Amino acid sequence: MRIAKRLLLTAALAAAVFSAAARAQEGRGDVVYVPTPQVAVDEMLKMAKVAANDFVIDLGSGDGRIVITAAKKFGARGLGVDLDTVLLKRARDAAKREGVADRAQFIEQNLFETDLSRATVITTYLLPDMNEKLRPRILALKPGTRLVAHDYDMGEWQPDEEKTLNVPEKTVGDPGKSYVFFWVVPAVIAGLWVSLLYVVGRGVIYEFDFDQSFQRVSGDLRVDGKNARLPIFNVRGDRVSFEIDAPQGTGLVKHRFQGQVKQDTIEGTVTVGTGQKPIKWTARLKKRGELRMSALDAAESASR
Ligand SMILES: C[S@@+](CC[C@H](N)C(=O)[O-])C[C@H]1O[C@@H](n2cnc3c(N)ncnc32)[C@H](O)[C@@H]1O
């Protein structure tokens, strides 16, 4: 329902931006220049929790307002890339005027060729097909990199958070409304992981077979050779946290896992049963799987 509604909206917004293009004739490349309303810029940066240690890259930076606001109000550093040299000059002049030229830089570059590895936060106000083209590159960035987009989402990659703002002065897209979408690049845990835990006075082998679609994880579990199902849970950056009812003796016992994904290990704790102290948990990668770039099967989601 939500997706269908948004898809319809997306088509309408794209059309509206293009008609604005014909009027404004600013911007160059794959989408014309339409500025994000300042109230939406502030919300985007707040949602991404931008701080002084962040490096923000705005892909298609227009008059530079996102990077300049990130520097001025949030103390961050950043880079804007655009192909329109008039807009780039406007952005550089504004950065000087606002006293942040040392922290807010603007270069002439095709956003599809921009090195994103320095970014801790990426911002976009681009058309849906451009977002989808960028998606694999963004998903390959360091887990924990944040992405925040105005008006257009990332297709099947569901946002971690979204907000609708009332913006009475907005005339393009969906007039009077701005949509802000936020994602955190997830670590890839797809594959088979194995843990040895000392519970009930002996070593028990846990095998996790994770199936991952963007940040959503489902899959199967074997405990001492007995099958169990994993619930659907989200990977948030490099953090995992999930609860299972795992076979133990003749019954099921609640296990609460939480951990940090490193290269080939997940390190954290597990609490087995209620009222127990957490114990150390390490999972080791046995066979790496692939991140699925399509939504989890609806039937599969419903059955869990
Ligand atoms: C909709 S505007 C957004 C401006 C700004 N990010 C904001 O939110 O206020 C998109 C910008 O992307 C730029 N652009 C379009 N295609 C581009 C490309 N391939 N590489 C770099 N910039 C591009 C346009 O010149 C325009 O300034």
Chain segment 76-98, per-residue pLDDT in tens: 999 999 999 999 999 999 999 99
Q: Is the pLDDT of residue 197 over 90?
A: yes
Return the closest-CA partner of residue 151 out of 159, 139, 142, 141. Answer: 159
Mutate to test the pocket of ligand 1, among 18, 26, 33, 165 (most ligand atoms within 8 A of CB): 33
In degrees, rounded to 5, the angle at the alpha carbon of residue 155 between the alpha carbons of residues 154 and 158 is 75
Considering the domain architecture, whether residues 214 and 275 belong to the same structural domain is answered as: yes
Q: How many domains does the chain have?
A: 2
Considering the domain architecture, whether residues 128 and 229 belong to the same structural domain is answered as: no
Per-residue confidence at 200, pLDDT binned at 50, 70, 90? confident
Among protein residues, the one whose CA lies closest to atom 12 of ligand 1 = 60
Choose between 291 and 30: higher pLDDT. Answer: 291
| Average pLDDT over all residues of the chain | 90
Q: What is residue 274's predicted lDDT score, i.e. its pLDDT?
A: 84
Tokens of 99: 């006293």
User: Which region among 3-7, 96-100, 253-257, 265-269 has the lowest average model confidence (pLDDT)?
Assistant: 3-7
Per-residue confidence at 31, pLDDT binned at 50, 70, 90? confident
Q: What is residue 6's predicted lDDT score, i.e. its pLDDT?
A: 53
Considering the domain architecture, whether residues 234 and 91 belong to the same structural domain is answered as: no
Give the span between the Cα atoms of 296 and 150, in whole angstroms.
25
Per-residue confidence at 299, pLDDT binned at 50, 70, 90? very low
Q: What is residue 280's predicted lDDT score, i.e. its pLDDT?
A: 96
Question: How much distance in Å is there from the Cα of 111 to the middle of ligand 1?
Answer: 8
pLDDT in tens, 38-60: 999 999 999 999 999 999 999 99
Q: What is residue 23's predicted lDDT score, i.e. its pLDDT?
A: 47
Considering the domain architecture, whether residues 225 and 291 belong to the same structural domain is answered as: yes
Q: Is the pLDDT of residue 24 over 60?
A: no
Task: Among 184, 212, 231, give the residue marking a domain's end.
Answer: 184
Give the span between the Cα atoms of 144 and 161, in whole angstroms.
15
In degrees, rounded to 5, the angle at the alpha carbon of residue 25 between the alpha carbons of residues 21 and 26 is 100
pLDDT in tens, 138-191: 999 999 999 999 999 999 999 999 999 999 999 988 999 999 999 999 999 999
Choose between 304 and 284: higher pLDDT. Answer: 284
30 ligand 1 Cβ < 6 A: yes
Check: CB of residue 108 under 8 Å from CB of residue 49. Answer: no
Question: How much distance in Å is there from the Cα of 47 to the middle of ligand 1?
Answer: 21
Using DSSP's 3-state secondary structure scheme, residue 5 falls into helix
Using DSSP's 3-state secondary structure scheme, residue 109 falls into coil
Using DSSP's 3-state secondary structure scheme, residue 135 falls into helix
Question: How much distance in Å is there from the Cα of 279 to the middle of ligand 1?
Answer: 50
- Tell me what the mean pLDDT of segment 116-145 comes to: 97
Per-residue confidence at 215, pLDDT binned at 50, 70, 90? very high
Choose between 77 and 12: higher pLDDT. Answer: 77
> What ligand 1 atom has the least distance to the C-alpha of 41?
8
Q: Is the pLDDT of residue 11 over 70?
A: no
Torsion angle in degrees (nearest 10) through CA of 221, 225, 226, 230: 0
Considering the domain architecture, whether residues 40 and 81 belong to the same structural domain is answered as: yes
Considering the domain architecture, whether residues 135 and 278 belong to the same structural domain is answered as: no
Considering the domain architecture, whether residues 56 and 85 belong to the same structural domain is answered as: yes
CATH number at residue 137: 3.40.50.150
Q: Is the pLDDT of residue 68 over 70?
A: yes
Task: Among 167, 184, 201, give the residue marking a domain's end.
Answer: 184
Q: Is the pLDDT of residue 8 over 50?
A: no
Task: State the pTM of this model.
Answer: 0.90
Question: How much distance in Å is there from the Cα of 34 to the middle of ligand 1?
Answer: 8
Total residues belonging to the chain? 304
CATH number at residue 298: 2.40.128
Among protein residues, the one whose CA lies closest to atom 2 of ligand 1 = 33
Considering the domain architecture, whether residues 178 and 245 belong to the same structural domain is answered as: no
The domain in which residue 14 lies consists of 2-184
271 ligand 1 Cβ < 6 A: no
